[in-house]
């Protein structure tokens, strides 16, 4: 019997996969109408109306696009090294990628979240999750740079993250993989999952003034896969909702074994209550190891600290912080309406979309209308929490966002479409194809209290036939829809960097005027800064040489260096003396084992270089900075170990000698 069941499930899944292929809309080319071009046209020299911040998936980065044009504005390095910007290669940025495992140069970034005040975007910060080595990053929207990264202990696969409460009180992160907690021996048989594996939810507090993150507390939950999450808002402020799958607690062949049950759960967490327990000392201190990395804009340097403690609340003992809401078939998205009253679960394998009522949930809890419990957590009665079901919405619902007119938009992976439905009467109003197999979607302000509702972007998993072929892999694809009318209208395809997962859209006005134009030189507190060419020098400390260098259009100072020896480690500390917007200088050196530096105006950055041979090594500026950019170059002379060539450096005084002429007295500073 069991075996038969297994075969059926497998058949079901195989059918799904086939359906996926056959559900692709035909006539992909005929669906754009004539006025689409006008709607996305942003004239040369004009700005876009919105920023679109897009996760880069396995590129580990984020990117910023303009909408409606779809122009790529910037790739923001977050969890992966970026040789273009020297991120993860300069001495200053290396600590940003430090973890309890050491330096980790890559990750998989799935979700972005703009910071919120009062349930609306405030334009200050952007958060991103690392799905592999669990971390949360904060990007500063003044500089479009990663300002802070915090690692998460007791976690693996930080997927349901980094979702925010309505005033950015917390960034919340649920573990995708349940694992044995860090403070117990994880060397156990995998098939002891039910006994030894735990799911952990992390609550990271965010300081209002400067965004500084701290791991405030964790909640230990049963060993499931926590998939996505959303905070309550408005009426449901103080609660958080997490979708969970694999409530079967399988550890192998999950595609079958985690699809057994008719219903999995949405976990509702009363985080205000959890805070009370925390204050009352109900948490347990656990010993863990996690990195907390911060970039300081004044020293232009990141520091990494390893922390060793976290407070854990136990959901089994603290009875009234966690409740399970049954949700059909492997819920993925778990989204909350603008008023906070409705919670939408999206079961990947479900044929309906259940919409839960927050007030109904409270009543169900009050009436103790439970159908049982799971590892001490009450399971609420589905029918009692349910507001209603959206019938025949499509196949494979994943994610839902909202507009300003009481409508919801759900992405359907299997039937490859976006479906618009009304939140009150749950009637389907419109559907449009996506090309193809949409994953996440985002509506401008679609997760806030006041959505904008002008545009929707679908982020697709399959691109087949949408762009010019580029070998075995095609560009990742996003599609822009105008949703201002009754009918949704596809108006633009645009490629993205990496695989896009979640993204958000914010009005450009919220962000653009706060943008940093350059760093002030007189505020530069870098240990090795040279404020002015007069401060440049080369200093030997045993086998370590520090080069205090400056860059300005169009030369480095110094640009001739001699007396470097094989066996030295040379640190080029380069201060960009420019005090003007958009004048970075680059720095490349032949044979370097890392990348270039790209130094912003007023900033100091350091490249470590270990010469591997005797000879003449050119350096040059990599960023076309002026008409004489190509002249922005110099030489470093490398002599054998033990050589007695004196250390010297100069700018403009090391004049070439005529053949046979006596070596003239060098005017170089020694």
- Positions touching ligand RUQ (CB under 6 A) are 110-111, 159, 228, 332, 398-399, 439-440, 501-502
Which residue's CB is nearer to ligand RUQ, number 82 or number 499?
499
Which residue's CB is nearer to ligand RUQ, number 399 or number 546?
399
Residues forming a β-bridge with 584: none
Residue with tokens 């309505």: 166
Which residue's CB is nearer to ligand CUA, number 162 or number 634?
634
Of ligand CUA, ligand RUQ, none, which one does residue 111 interact with (CB within 5 to 8 Å by kind)? Answer: ligand RUQ
Which residues of 614-656 form beta strands (DSSP E)?
A: 615-620, 633-639, 648-650
Of ligand CUA, ligand RUQ, none, which one does residue 623 interact with (CB within 5 to 8 Å by kind)? Answer: ligand CUA
Q: Are 199 and 223 in contact (CB under 8 A)?
A: yes
Which residue's CB is nearer to ligand CUA, number 452 or number 560?
560
Shortest Å, Cβ 632 to ligand CUA: 4
Q: Are 180 and 198 in contact (CB under 8 A)?
A: yes
Provide, for the chain, the percentages of residues in helix, strand and coil under a 3-state DSSP scheme, each rounded to the nearest 5: 15, 45, 45
Of ligand RUQ, ligand CUA, none, which one does residue 629 interact with (CB within 5 to 8 Å by kind)? Answer: ligand CUA
Of ligand CUA, ligand RUQ, none, which one does residue 231 interact with (CB within 5 to 8 Å by kind)? Answer: none
Shortest Å, Cβ 527 to ligand CUA: 23
Which residue's CB is nearer to ligand CUA, number 343 or number 592?
592
Shortest Å, Cβ 556 to ligand CUA: 8
Neighbours of 197 (CB within 10 A): 21
Contacts of 114 (CB under 8 A, 6+ apart): 53, 121, 122, 123, 125, 126, 127, 504, 506
Shortest Å, Cβ 440 to ligand RUQ: 5
Of ligand CUA, ligand RUQ, none, which one does residue 502 interact with (CB within 5 to 8 Å by kind)? Answer: ligand RUQ
Of ligand RUQ, ligand CUA, none, which one does residue 561 interact with (CB within 5 to 8 Å by kind)? Answer: none
Which residue's CB is nearer to ligand CUA, number 231 or number 625?
625
Whole-number Å distance between alpha carbons of 336 and 333: 10
Whole-number Å distance between alpha carbons of 134 and 132: 6
Shortest Å, Cβ 185 to ligand RUQ: 30
Of ligand RUQ, ligand CUA, none, which one does residue 292 interact with (CB within 5 to 8 Å by kind)? Answer: none
Shortest Å, Cβ 577 to ligand CUA: 11
What angle is formed at CA 501 by the lines to CA 500 and CA 506, rounded to 5 degrees?
Answer: 85
Shortest Å, Cβ 346 to ligand RUQ: 9
Which residue's CB is nearer to ligand CUA, number 114 or number 592?
592
Which residue's CB is nearer to ligand RUQ, number 111 or number 263?
111
Of ligand RUQ, ligand CUA, none, which one does residue 420 interact with (CB within 5 to 8 Å by kind)? Answer: none
Residue with tokens 């679960």: 345
Whole-number Å distance between alpha carbons of 349 and 396: 6
Shortest Å, Cβ 424 to ligand RUQ: 26
Whole-number Å distance between alpha carbons of 478 and 492: 8
Which residue's CB is nearer to ligand RUQ, number 145 or number 332?
332
Shortest Å, Cβ 84 to ligand CUA: 15
Of ligand RUQ, ligand CUA, none, which one does residue 173 interact with (CB within 5 to 8 Å by kind)? Answer: none
Q: For residue 169, what is the DSSP state?
A: S
Shortest Å, Cβ 4 to ligand RUQ: 32
Which residue's CB is nearer to ligand RUQ, number 54 or number 361?
54
Shortest Å, Cβ 443 to ligand RUQ: 15
In SS3 terms, 438-492 reads as EEEEEECCCCCCCCCCCEEEEEECCCCCCCCCECECCCEEEEEEECCCCCCEEEE
Shortest Å, Cβ 131 to ligand RUQ: 7
Question: What tokens does 449 get?
Answer: 């209290």
Residue with tokens 């492997």: 330
Q: For residue 32, what is the DSSP state?
A: -
Residue with tokens 């008719």: 262
If you write DSSP's letter for every residue of 558-612 in order, what string do you get?
A: S-EEEEEETT-EEEEEEEE---STT--EEEEETT-SS--EEEPTT-EEEEEE---
Which residue's CB is nearer to ligand CUA, number 633 or number 643?
633
Which residue's CB is nearer to ligand CUA, number 257 or number 633?
633
Which residue's CB is nearer to ligand CUA, number 142 or number 553?
553
N residues, the chain: 670
Of ligand CUA, ligand RUQ, none, which one does residue 430 interact with (CB within 5 to 8 Å by kind)? Answer: none
Whole-number Å distance between alpha carbons of 433 and 431: 7
Residues forming a β-bridge with 422: 407
Of ligand RUQ, ligand CUA, none, which one does residue 440 interact with (CB within 5 to 8 Å by kind)? Answer: ligand RUQ
Tell me the backbone φ, ψ of residue 496, rounded to 5 degrees: -125, 170
Whole-number Å distance between alpha carbons of 633 and 7: 68
Reduced to 3 states (helix: H, G, I; strand: E, B; else coil), residue 237 is coil
Q: Are 596 and 574 in contact (CB under 8 A)?
A: no
Shortest Å, Cβ 420 to ligand RUQ: 19
Reduced to 3 states (helix: H, G, I; strand: E, B; else coil), residue 653 is coil
Of ligand RUQ, ligand CUA, none, which one does residue 124 interact with (CB within 5 to 8 Å by kind)? Answer: none
Shortest Å, Cβ 46 to ligand RUQ: 33
Of ligand RUQ, ligand CUA, none, which one does residue 625 interact with (CB within 5 to 8 Å by kind)? Answer: ligand CUA
Which residue's CB is nearer to ligand RUQ, number 437 or number 560?
437
Of ligand RUQ, ligand CUA, none, which one does residue 138 interact with (CB within 5 to 8 Å by kind)? Answer: none
In SS3 terms, 311-333 reads as EEEECCCCCCCEEEEEEECCEEE
Of ligand CUA, ligand RUQ, none, which one does residue 526 interact with (CB within 5 to 8 Å by kind)? Answer: none
Shortest Å, Cβ 573 to ligand RUQ: 40
Which residue's CB is nearer to ligand RUQ, number 409 or number 502?
502
End-to-end CA distance of the chain: 87
Q: For residue 383, what is the DSSP state?
A: H
Whole-number Å distance between alpha carbons of 15 and 422: 30
In SS3 terms, 205-226 reads as EECCCCCCEEEEEEEEEECCEE
Q: Which residues bind ligand CUA (CB under 6 A)?
A: 551, 554, 585, 621, 623-625, 629, 632
Contacts of 470 (CB under 8 A, 6+ apart): none
């Amino acid at each position: 019997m069991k075996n038969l069941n297994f075969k059926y499930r497998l058949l079901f899944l195989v059918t799904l996969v086939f359906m996926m292929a056959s559900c692709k809309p035909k006539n992909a080319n005929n669906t754009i109408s004539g006025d689409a071009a006008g709607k996305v046209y942003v004239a040369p020299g004009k700005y876009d109306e919105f920023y679109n911040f897009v996760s880069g998936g396995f590129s580990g980065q984020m990117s910023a696009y303009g909408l409606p044009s779809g122009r790529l504005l910037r790739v923001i390095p977050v969890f992966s090294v970026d040789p273009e910007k020297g991120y993860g290669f300069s001495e200053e940025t290396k600590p940003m990628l430090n973890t309890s495992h050491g330096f980790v140069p890559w990750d998989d970034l799935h979700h972005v979240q703009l910071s919120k005040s009062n349930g609306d975007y405030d334009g200050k910060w952007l958060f991103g999750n690392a799905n592999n080595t669990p971390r949360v990053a904060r990007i500063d929207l003044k500089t479009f740079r990663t300002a802070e990264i915090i690692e998460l202990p007791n976690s693996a696969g930080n997927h349901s993250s980094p979702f925010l409460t309505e005033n950015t009180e917390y960034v919340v992160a649920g573990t995708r993989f349940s694992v044995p907690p860090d403070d117990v021996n994880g060397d156990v048989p995998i098939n002891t999952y039910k006994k030894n594996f735990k799911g952990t939810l992390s609550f990271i507090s965010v300081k209002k003034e400067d965004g500084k993150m701290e791991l405030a507390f964790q909640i230990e939950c049963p060993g499931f896969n926590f998939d996505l999450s959303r905070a309550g808002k408005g009426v449901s402020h103080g609660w958080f909702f997490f979708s969970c799958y694999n409530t079967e607690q399988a550890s192998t062949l999950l595609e079958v074994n985690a699809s057994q049950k008719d219903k999995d759960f949405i976990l509702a967490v009363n985080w205000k209550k959890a805070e009370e327990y925390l204050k009352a000392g109900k948490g347990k201190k656990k010993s863990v190891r996690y990195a907390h990395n911060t970039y300081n804009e004044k020293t232009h340097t990141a520091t990494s600290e390893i922390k060793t403690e976290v407070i854990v609340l136990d959901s089994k003992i603290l009875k009234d912080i966690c409740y399970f809401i049954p949700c059909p078939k492997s819920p993925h998205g778990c989204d909350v309406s603008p008023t906070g009253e409705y919670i939408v679960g999206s079961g990947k394998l479900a044929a309906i979309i259940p919409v839960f009522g927050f007030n109904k949930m409270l009543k169900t809890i009050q009436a103790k209308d439970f159908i049982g419990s799971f590892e001490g957590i009450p399971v609420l009665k589905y029918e009692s929490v349910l507001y209603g079901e959206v019938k025949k919405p499509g196949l494979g619902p994943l994610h839902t966002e909202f507009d300003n007119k009481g409508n919801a938009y759900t992405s359907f992976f299997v039937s490859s479409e976006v479906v618009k439905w009304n939140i009150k009467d749950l009637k389907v109003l419109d559907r449009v194809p996506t090309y193809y197999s949409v994953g996440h979607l985002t509506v401008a302000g679609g997760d806030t209290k006041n959505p904008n509702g002008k545009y929707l972007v679908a982020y697709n998993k399959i691109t087949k036939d949408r762009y010019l072929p580029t070998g075995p892999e095609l560009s990742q694809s996003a599609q822009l829809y105008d949703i201002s009318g009754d009918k949704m209208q596809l108006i633009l395809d645009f490629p993205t960097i990496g695989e896009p997962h979640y993204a958000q859209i914010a009005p450009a006005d919220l962000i653009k005027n706060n943008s940093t134009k350059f760093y002030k030189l007189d505020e530069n507190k870098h240990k090795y800064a040279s404020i002015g060419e007069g401060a440049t020098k080369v200093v030997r400390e045993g086998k370590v040489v520090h080069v205090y260098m400056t860059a300005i259009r169009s030369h480095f100072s110094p640009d001739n260096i001699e007396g470097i020896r094989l066996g030295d480690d040379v640190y080029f500390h380069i201060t960009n003396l420019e005090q003007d917007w958009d004048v970075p200088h680059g720095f490349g050196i032949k044979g370097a084992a890392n990348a270039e530096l790209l130094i912003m105006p007023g900033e100091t950055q350091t490249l470590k270089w270990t010469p591997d041979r005797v000879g003449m090594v050119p350096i040059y500026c990599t960023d076309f900075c002026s008409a004489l950019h190509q002249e922005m170059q110099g030489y470093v002379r490398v002599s054998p170990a033990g050589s007695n060539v004196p250390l010297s450096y100069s700018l403009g005084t090391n004049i070439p000698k005529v053949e046979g002429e006596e070596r003239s007295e060098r005017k170089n500073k020694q």
